[in-house]
Structure 1
Amino acid sequence: MKYVIGIDLGTSSVKTILVNQRGEVCAEVSKNYPLIQMKSGYSEQDPEEWVGQTVSALSELLSLSRVNPADIEGISYSGQMHGLVLLDDHHQVLRPAILWNDTRTTAQCTAIAEALGEDLLRITKNRPLEGFTLPKILWVKEHEPEIFKKARVFLLPKDYLRFRMTGVICSDFSDAAGTLLLDVAERKWSAEICRQLGIPPEICPPLVESHEFVGTLLPEIAQLTGLRRGTNVFAGGADNACGAVGAGILSPGITLCSIGTSGVILSHEDQKERDFKGKVHFFNHAKAGSFYAMGVTLSAGYSLSWFKETFFQNETFEGLLQGVNEVPPGSGGLLFAPYLFGERTPHADSAIRGSFIGVDAAHRKENFVRAVMEGITFSLHETIRIFRSEGKAIDRIISIGGGAKNQCWLQMQADIFGAEVIKLESEQGPALGAAMLAAFGCGWFASLEECAEQFIRPSSAFYPQSEAVKKYQALFEIYQEIYAKTKGICHAMQSLKMW
């Protein structure tokens, strides 16, 4: 039996999985690493933590599986998007990586919008947001000019990890699309954006397809992990693109709902001319030559984690969710807006903050927990509303991540989204997508679609319940008023700078 490895470099941990030719996950190992948060709005990481913990995870993966390294044919990657890693002319890291959830770059986003206007949307298909890479580059240029002068290339997080494992510098189209420097339709770095903003175009890495072979493991990495020196390495993709591959979102007609730290509604697109006018993100897919549209809720699963750690720290998630299914839709008149880090879709607002609306003395833990789950799902439904308003049919949704681990939440998604929601038999998210890119790259399958037929199997389906659908439709209309009615308060609180 032959195997491939999928590596998913997340925000708080790296996950490695070993997958055989039947698509069975034979072993998995995860390792955590810390965030660096020097002040409010800052979020950084030491790239060497990624390397060290990945090496440790791979070593443990081999030990746990007892698979012969000679039978492992390929490795590929998924990674957190938008993060900025700057390297000097010796390919040494110049400063800690600035991550996707860092919000220090509001001024740079304004400058980008003023300099490029609607040309930015024409070229990149996206509007400037604090999470993207380009504002981070401009922030370093403005605030750390000596570091910027030394920069010879920038990389995305998983691209740096792959470079340290192979010695090869490159990026793939799906991750490059999240930088705000890529001409998404023409699939090349934008010389126009670089020129307008004073960015040397040579700091942009070479571009490759996600399934493309880029090299083999360096001898020292092979020795540290126990892997074979000649193990093939393939480029990989952005975490959302790989999550889509791992859920079989490879053609129109199926939509992805992924609830992790952040939440995503994602739909496949074939046409590069598709124009959502910046209402949602539009990126290159990990499937060559295709694209995807995506809306993001910044604090999705994180909202539930925050609630647990703040109010029920000693409770397990299973205990936290106990009794939620007995609370009717609407949580007894309680609404939650999940704006703990600001919001992305449809409200690109880094200053908005979350709220509970309608708190009553009769409410108990179960009401609050259900309200958090409903608020997250309402926020994701705003993207589905946008897709439908643009003529997309959203009838069948694959649910992955934390939102797929609880039957009550799966039924809630079906009722709020008004669509069939499918749970997968073995759900490994972006890590499986990375493994599938390696399997396709190794030539096991003629296409990613053929690979998906072998690797991805549905286990259960949830259908909208008419009475719950009606209640949620009415509640959603009220939920949509929360942003406009709390925006002024939140912005005023942020401007006080008292904390």
Structure 2
Amino acid sequence: MLLLGIDIGTSSVKVSIVDGDTQRCIAASQYPDTEAPIESAHPGWAEQAPADWWDRWVQAFRRAVAKGGFQPADIGAIGIAYQMHGLVITDREGAVLRPSIIWCDSRAVAIGEQANEALGPGFCLEHYLNAPGNFTASKLAWVKQHEREIFDRTAHVMLPGDYIAFRLTGQLTSSPSSLSEGVFWDFKKHGPATDLMEYYGFDTALLAKVQPVFSEHGRLDARVAAGLQLRPGIPVSYKAGDQPNNALSLGVTEPGEVAATAGTSGVIYAVSDALTYDPQSRVNTFAHVNHLPEQIRTGVLLCINGTGILYGWARQQWAAGVPYNDLNAMAASVAPGSEGIRVLPFGNGAERMLGNRLTGVQLHHIDLNHHRQAHLFRAIQEGIAFAFRYGLDIMRSNKVEPLQIRAGRSNLFQSEVFLKSFVAATGVPVTLYPADGSVGAALGAGIGCGYYPGIKDAFIHQQAIRTCTPDDAGNLETPYQEWLALLQKQL
């Protein structure tokens, strides 16, 4: 049987078709070719149209079909990964009422802070493992306060992956993992966050039916199937946010295992068997894909908003059209430390690890007579690596001590400069795998439909590419301390 994985990213959508027996990707495609836009009508705002996500996945799938090598009718299950925290609201007929307020939008920070104070910081941490912050529930509260006519027409609240599954099947479902990322989930009650929803004035009927991540979230609608040459009635049997899904794709499902990504945003994601939380909510805890009432599996998540999006912005401003591999080669021509340039990579919305502050990107110590493009591209990669170190130290203060980190060889982890900077800054070995989110979603579909007896069975053929150790990476402690001093002046 073939398995289809769909990864609804911020900058693009990728699809992969995986052979269930060999667990190998036999076809893949991505759309669009350049970074998809984020609409920002005001500073700190970030929106995308849900219909565009749908169109992009369809285009990506049709590209994969056009390449050949498989028959769409042989696909037996579908899995979905998606950008986390985005708010999608529809009316009773399922029509989208406004653009999605996505993960890096900062407009609801104050609303979340007020809710945290009203309910009590201790209560929120004990029940939700997070402050309400700038997450999906607070974004919906912003709509209620500022767009009341739209809120009054709202019948369904979804995450991005819920919307894609709804378009595929006509059915609305959610999961503890999905609801927890929106702070709609109460870990003590193992049910919807009724206290927060009551405070915000939300009816719990806005939320979809809750079921496990690995389960049937509907069957493919006949009209959709006909347009894509797929068999009607095949199940959507897996649906998860991109970071829990990335962890799954790397086989990170048990306590002590840690994954990292460096796509549009950067994330370190550590699995725990405890309902743990950071007292300041600088790192966040959500239900992992295999979390159950009788088997606690949470994901402690550090997020850096300005990662790949910063590298892409710099490319657009200073080297438009130059392939990323060439930029990485330029960066590698400069010695570690970037000859003094320091970059604070925080220009994509409120940063949770900085207490939801908006500091913007900052470049320090540029010498107009000496520094070149190559210095900037290396300094950006090092600055992102230093931000990972800063966040990892917060995780360490919360008893997360990774001995090894797994990452897919994609996005910034394709750059030798970034890989070594990350390892040098954090002091933790990184093992690279040929994994990506759409492949993980496909394998998740295989688990959810019962093709694989258990999670580990879906990854028996997974092999590492290489490991980069601190001995391989060199020492960046002095540049990091200089970077840290600059950041502390902003805080």
TM-score, scaled relative to structure 1: 0.91
Which residue matches 1:310? Answer: 317
Deviation for aligned residue 1:349: 3.0
Which residue matches 1:65? Answer: 68
Which residue matches 1:137? Answer: 140
Q: Between 434-443 and 217-226, report the one with greater CA deviation.
A: 434-443
1:305-345: per-residue Cα shift (whole Å, max 9, x none)? 11111111142212222243343321112211001124524
Which residue matches 2:52? Answer: 49
Which residue matches 1:178? Answer: 181
Which residue matches 1:365? Answer: 373
Distance 1:435 1:467, change over 3 A: closer
Native 8 Å contact 2:165 2:218 kept in 1? no
Native 8 Å contact 1:14 1:54 kept in 2? yes
Q: Distance in 1 between matches of 2:473 and 2:328?
A: 23
Which residue matches 2:299? Answer: 292
Which residue matches 2:346? Answer: 339
Native 8 Å contact 2:177 2:291 kept in 1? no
Q: Between 71-80 and 477-486, report the one with greater CA deviation.
A: 477-486
Deviation for aligned residue 1:481: 2.2
- Give, as a single letter, the amino acid of the residue that structure 2 aligns with 1:11: T
Is 1:413 the counterpart of 2:417? The answer is no
Which residue matches 2:104? Answer: 101
- Give, as a single letter, the amino acid of the residue that structure 1 aligns with 2:124: L
Native 8 Å contact 2:247 2:269 kept in 1? yes
Partner secondary structure for residue 137 of structure 1: helix
Is 1:465 the counterpart of 2:467? The answer is no
Q: Between 360-369 and 328-337, report the one with greater CA deviation.
A: 360-369
Which residue matches 1:493? Answer: none
Aligned counterpart for 1:384 among listed residues 371, 389, 392? 392
Distance 1:481 1:234, change over 3 A: same
Which residue matches 1:276? Answer: 278
RMSD: 1.9
Q: Distance in 1 between matches of 2:40 and 2:330?
A: 36
Partner secondary structure for residue 264 of structure 1: strand
Q: Which runs of 5+ in 1 are unaligned?
A: 488-499
Partner secondary structure for residue 465 of structure 2: strand
Distance 1:342 1:150, change over 3 A: closer
Which residue matches 2:7? Answer: 8
- Give, as a single letter, the amino acid of the residue that structure 1 aligns with 2:270: S
Q: Distance in 1 between matches of 2:221 and 2:485?
A: 55
Native 8 Å contact 1:103 1:350 kept in 2? no
Native 8 Å contact 1:172 1:235 kept in 2? no
Q: Which runs of 5+ in 2 are unaligned?
A: none
Which residue matches 1:492? Answer: none
Native 8 Å contact 1:182 1:188 kept in 2? yes
Q: For residues 139-178 of structure 1, what are the structure 2 equivalents within 5 Å?
A: 139-178=142-181
Aligned length: 479
Q: Between 229-238 and 18-27, report the one with greater CA deviation.
A: 229-238
Is 1:354 the counterpart of 2:358? The answer is no
Is 1:486 the counterpart of 2:485? The answer is no
- Give, as a single letter, the amino acid of the residue that structure 2 aligns with 1:382: Y
Q: Distance in 1 between matches of 2:117 and 2:105?
A: 21
Deviation for aligned residue 1:93: 1.6
Which residue matches 2:25? Answer: 25
Native 8 Å contact 1:76 1:438 kept in 2? yes
Deviation for aligned residue 1:443: 2.2
Distance 1:314 1:29, change over 3 A: closer
Q: Distance in 2 between matches of 1:235 and 1:318?
A: 34
Q: Distance in 1 between matches of 2:15 and 2:335?
A: 39
- Give, as a single letter, the amino acid of the residue that structure 1 aligns with 2:277: D
Deviation for aligned residue 1:66: 4.5
Q: Between 98-107 and 260-269, report the one with greater CA deviation.
A: 98-107
Which residue matches 1:123? Answer: 127
Deviation for aligned residue 1:185: 4.8
Native 8 Å contact 2:421 2:473 kept in 1? no
Native 8 Å contact 1:212 1:235 kept in 2? yes
Partner secondary structure for residue 444 of structure 1: coil
1:402-436: per-residue Cα shift (whole Å, max 9, x none)? 22212232222221111211111x232x2122111
Partner secondary structure for residue 431 of structure 1: helix
Native 8 Å contact 2:260 2:266 kept in 1? yes
Partner secondary structure for residue 35 of structure 1: coil
1:30-79: per-residue Cα shift (whole Å, max 9, x none)? 22354333333222222222223323333333343342344211001001
Partner secondary structure for residue 216 of structure 1: coil
Partner secondary structure for residue 423 of structure 1: strand
1:228-261: per-residue Cα shift (whole Å, max 9, x none)? 0121211410111101101111123332120001
Aligned counterpart for 1:422 among listed residues 403, 422, 431? 431
Q: Distance in 2 between matches of 1:391 and 1:39?
A: 38
